[in-house]
């Protein structure tokens, strides 16, 4: 456990299949511009497509889905994807995706503990760079990432297929 995790009381572990509904609800709770009722979130989180996606992530040697536990409950999630490449003499990158903390528990250093764990994990896997993207509407998340040492160095683009 990292020092930050010890300070925040957070335990990090790899996600299990039975965590999927909670992970999905954390993602939906943190989605900008989408206010949903608890019943709607629970119904969406029960969609079997999420279990299929989890199985694909779990089967990939390049992807690891983590959850943060606080007082025995899953309160956060993030995914680490390792990306081999040719740039900088083959430097491997780690990309953080879907970093979400239960909105009711923000400000307790849980996100900081999660990201510290992910960075340690990436380093152990040989990554020389950690990157992430964040929705432009998540201004508080941007302040958080800058505070913990990330540089806002690139402009991102997406193409929905």
Is 154 inside a domain boundary? no
Is 64 inside a domain boundary? yes
| H/E element, 112 | helix 110-124
* Phi, psi (deg, nearest 5) at residue 63: -125, 140
Is 112 inside a domain boundary? yes
pLDDT at 33 over 80: no
Mean pLDDT (whole number) for 10-24 = 96
Sequence-ordered list of residues with C-beta below 8 angstroms from that of 55, at least 6 positions apart, any chain: 17
Is 118 inside a domain boundary? yes
Is 153 inside a domain boundary? no
Mean pLDDT (whole number) for 123-146 = 92
Query: For position 57, what pLDDT does the model report?
Result: 98
Note whether 110 and 4 are within 8 A (CB).
no
Comparing 71 with 41, the larger pLDDT belongs to 71
Is 161 inside a domain boundary? no
Q: What percent of the chain has pLDDT over 90?
A: 70
pLDDT digits (tens, 9 = 90+) for 58-74: 999 999 999 999 999 99
pTM of the model: 0.89
Note whether 114 and 12 are within 8 A (CB).
yes
Is 86 inside a domain boundary? yes
pLDDT digits (tens, 9 = 90+) for 84-96: 999 999 999 999 9
Looking at the DSSP assignment, which residues form a beta bridge with residue 73?
Answer: 70
Comparing 24 with 3, the larger pLDDT belongs to 24
Closest CA to 75 of 40, 29, 139: 29
Q: Domain of 55: which CATH number?
A: 3.40.630.30
Q: Domain span at residue 57?
A: 3-147
Mean pLDDT (whole number) for 106-135 = 95
Number of domains present in the structure of the chain:
1
Comparing 77 with 4, the larger pLDDT belongs to 77
Q: Is the dihedral of CA 32, 143, 128, 109 positive or negative?
A: negative
Query: For position 32, what pLDDT does the model report?
Result: 60
Is 120 inside a domain boundary? yes
Confidence of residue 29 (pLDDT cuts 50, 70, 90): confident
Query: For position 78, what pLDDT does the model report?
Result: 97
């Amino acid at each position: 456990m990292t020092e930050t995790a010890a300070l925040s009381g957070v335990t990090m572990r790899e996600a299990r299949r039975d965590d999927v509904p909670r992970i999905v609800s954390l993602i939906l709770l943190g989605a900008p511009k989408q206010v949903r009722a608890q019943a709607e979130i629970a119904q969406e989180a029960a969609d079997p497509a999420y279990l299929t996606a989890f199985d694909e992530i779990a089967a990939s040697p390049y992807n690891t889905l983590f959850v943060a536990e606080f007082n025995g409950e899953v309160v956060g999630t993030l995914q680490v994807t390792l990306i081999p490449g040719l740039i900088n003499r083959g430097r491997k990158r780690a990309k953080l995706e879907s970093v979400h903390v239960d909105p009711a528990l923000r400000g307790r250093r849980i996100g900081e503990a999660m990201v510290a764990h992910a960075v340690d994990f990436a380093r152990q896997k040989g990554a020389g760079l950690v990157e992430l993207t964040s929705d432009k509407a998540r201004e508080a998340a941007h302040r958080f990432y800058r505070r913990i040492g990330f540089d806002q160095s690139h402009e991102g683009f997406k193409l929905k297929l």
